[in-house]
Amino acid sequence: MSRNISLLSGKKDDKNNLFAKITASPSDSSDSQLASEYNMGISTIHSTKSFYDFLGEDFKSKKAFVCQGSACLCRGTQDAVIDKLSDKFGAENIGEMICLGRCYENSAFYYDGQNYSGNDINKLDQIVAGKHTSTKYEMKSYADVSFLVEDEVFSSYDDFKDLLQTSFASDKADLIAILKESGLRGRGGAGFPTGMKWEFCQAQEASPKYVVCNADEGDPGAFSDRYILEEQTLKLLFGMVICGYIIGSKQGFLYIRGEYPESIKANNDALAKLRELGLLGENILGSGFDFDMSVVEGQGAYICGEETALIASIEGRRAEVDVRPPFPTVEGLYKKPTVVNNVESLAAVPVIFKLGGESFKKIGNGKSTGTKLISLDGYFNNPGLYEVNMAAPMGFIIDEVGGGFNDDIKAIQIGGPLGGVVPVDILRTLTLDFESFDEGGFLLGHASFVCIPRSFSAVEYAKHLFAFTAHESCGKCFPCRLGATRGKEMLESALEKDQKFSEELINDLLETMEVGSLCALGGGLPLAIKNLLEHCYDEFKPLMEK
């Protein structure tokens, strides 16, 4: 059934995605019209709408939303934010979002199409009156060569045009060779070689082909993609255009999470300017290459960060995970060959092409090459976003880049809610690369740092992770959908009802989720829970059956 919907959606209109039409649908009558237009049942349209948080009537009735991401939760700032928003708008008008990408100063909330944080909560009157705008955070580079932060190498529309002309004059095989030489690996978590992915897709005979940017940065604690989307937009968009050129695609989709309204606006504005300058559209720079892109606005579903769920979403399906293989490079969007890359991966491409693959490759450890953006939360003395060399010692990142901690920190979760929870003393023995984290039994992922203070219960944090997964599960596989719910209930009962749980039972539950889940949401969660059970066992033991 899902395959049929994919084919019908693409056959009807592969440029203006069905999902955008569904989310813009104002009434049941237009739902019927869409179903008829795409030869689908109206139940398919309703099923899609019911999947997303932002499309629910309860969500639409709220006036403001409080961030309940892991970083804000651990920082303990959000109760005060809820109180102040409730006093201003009424408690019944306050909802929740996860996460707003404001982990560096916490106290984060959303109002009227804008995100706010830090001291902004004390300026509600000015915000409501339209007289206050949240300040941007400072970006710094600790890298030998800056590929993602600084503007000297690639920053203007002229730079975009010049590098595009140079790239068009190069053989496509040479461009792929530069990427492969650089050693660039996916920055979204899996670390798959970017040049190899593009080469696989280029080799496919089926057409059309598509380029998809996964900008659904939903990991609480991560805000690196948001920076690129808003401050280094042209780097990202160049990466998508040149990918389209290399693989033979005419259409790209930039899927940006709805929690980042500023990012959506920045990219729509840049796309309009690129079209105006003839750098998008038909026959770009007289090359004979046609390529355009559109922004797809996410509607509050963390699972869309998983590439097959994201593809399903664009097609207008429920964002449920598909079984792989086939992988998207063979059968992706509309069941056609598709490159799916995350924001940071694509944004590194123009500077690699400008400076050469060797300049990227010489940074790192030979396997994890180049630079990496890291997100440091409010428990660091120097919170914010930094570009550092891959393979940098974690002790250097904690003490020099982050300036140490402003509280007693027992562990840090790195790589989002599916990443490992690493005790600080162990973390200092690692380096910032895929290999070091894999060997230690952890996950680098987006390289987001969420600090857990000594005063915050490890059991509460584990319950939070189970609850997050239970809410965000696509529901397609039982181990994830039911397992996360049972884990949350188990710890909730222990904490609130003094109902002790079995250590054997929770370990069996984690094993079932790890082995049986379709994707990394259910399959990755057990890593963090196991880490907590191992390294904070004294906190769990009193709640366990003897």
Query: Which tokens in the block code for residue 24?
Result: 């813009």
On whether the CB atoms of residues 425 and 350 are closer than 8 A, the answer is no
Q: Is the pLDDT higher at 161 or at 4? A: 161
Answer whether residue 8 shows pLDDT above 90: no
For 62-97, write each residue's pLDDT tens digit: 999 999 999 999 999 999 999 999 999 999 999 999
- Of 24-33, 247-256, 301-310, 504-513, the least confident: 24-33
- Rounded CA separation 254/428 (Å): 36
Average pLDDT, the chain: 94
Give Cβ neighbours of residue 267 (< 8 Å, ≥ 6 apart).
229, 233, 236, 237, 254, 256, 295
pTM of the model: 0.95
Q: What confidence score (pLDDT) does residue 1 get?
A: 54
- Rounded CA separation 43/35 (Å): 9
Q: What confidence score (pLDDT) does residue 330 get?
A: 97
Is-cis flag, bond preceding 453, omega within 30? no
For 337-359, write each residue's pLDDT tens digit: 999 999 999 999 999 999 999 99
Report the DSSP beta bridge partners of residue 211. Answer: 252, 339
On whether the CB atoms of residues 494 and 441 are closer than 8 A, the answer is no
14 pLDDT tier (thresholds 50, 70, 90): confident
Report the DSSP beta bridge partners of residue 423. Answer: 411
Q: What confidence score (pLDDT) does residue 29 get?
A: 67
For 185-205, write each residue's pLDDT tens digit: 999 777 899 999 999 999 999
- Of 89-93, 134-138, 462-466, the least confident: 134-138
Q: Which domains does the chain have, with CATH numbers?
A: 59-128 (3.40.30.10), 150-361 (3.40.50.11540), 371-453 (3.10.20.600), 458-543 (1.20.1440.230)
On whether the CB atoms of residues 267 and 309 are closer than 8 A, the answer is no
Q: What confidence score (pLDDT) does residue 434 get?
A: 92
Q: What confidence score (pLDDT) does residue 11 get?
A: 67
The percent of residues above 70 in pLDDT, for the chain, comes to 98
Query: Which tokens in the block code for residue 8?
Result: 């019908």
The residue type found at 335 is K
For 426-459, write each residue's pLDDT tens digit: 999 999 999 999 999 898 988 999 999 999 999 9
For 409-428, what is the mean pLDDT? 94
Q: What confidence score (pLDDT) does residue 362 get?
A: 96
Answer whether residue 533 shows pLDDT above 60: yes
Answer whether residue 151 shows pLDDT above 70: yes
Answer whether residue 277 shows pLDDT above 80: yes
